[in-house]
Amino acid sequence: MTEKITIARLHGMKLAGEKIVSLTAYDASFAGILDAAGVEIALVGDSLGMVLQGEEDTLSVSMDDMVYHSRIVSRACRRALVVVDMPYRSFETATVACENARVLVEQGKAEVVKLEGGEEQAQTVAALVDRGIPVCGHVGLQPQSIREYGGYKVQGREKQQAERIMVGACALEAAGACMVVLECIPAVLAERITTELTIPTIGIGAGVNCDGQVLVLYDVLGISPRSPHMAKNFMEGTESIPAAVQEYVRAVKTGEYPGPEHSFK
C-alpha 241/C-alpha 110 separation (Å) is: 25
The DSSP 8-state label assigned to residue 57 in this structure reads S
Which residue type, as a one-letter code, is found at position 18? E
DSSP per-residue codes, 73-84: HHHH-SSSEEEE
- Determine the Cα–Cα distance for residues 259 and 237; give it in Å rounded to an integer: 18
Cβ proximity of 59 and 144 under 8 Å: yes
From the candidates 183, 196, 236, 256, which is the catalytic residue?
183
Shortest CA distance to 83 belongs to which of 61, 101, 56? 101
CA 195 to chain centre: 19
Does residue 183 carry a catalytic annotation?
Answer: yes
Long-range contacts for 143-151 (Cβ within 8 Å, ≥24 apart)?
143/46, 143/47, 143/57, 143/58, 143/116, 143/183, 144/46, 144/58, 144/59, 144/87, 144/88, 144/116, 145/116, 146/57, 146/58, 146/59, 147/59
Q: Which of 214, 205, 200, 208 is nearest to 172 (CA)?
A: 200
Catalytic residues: 183
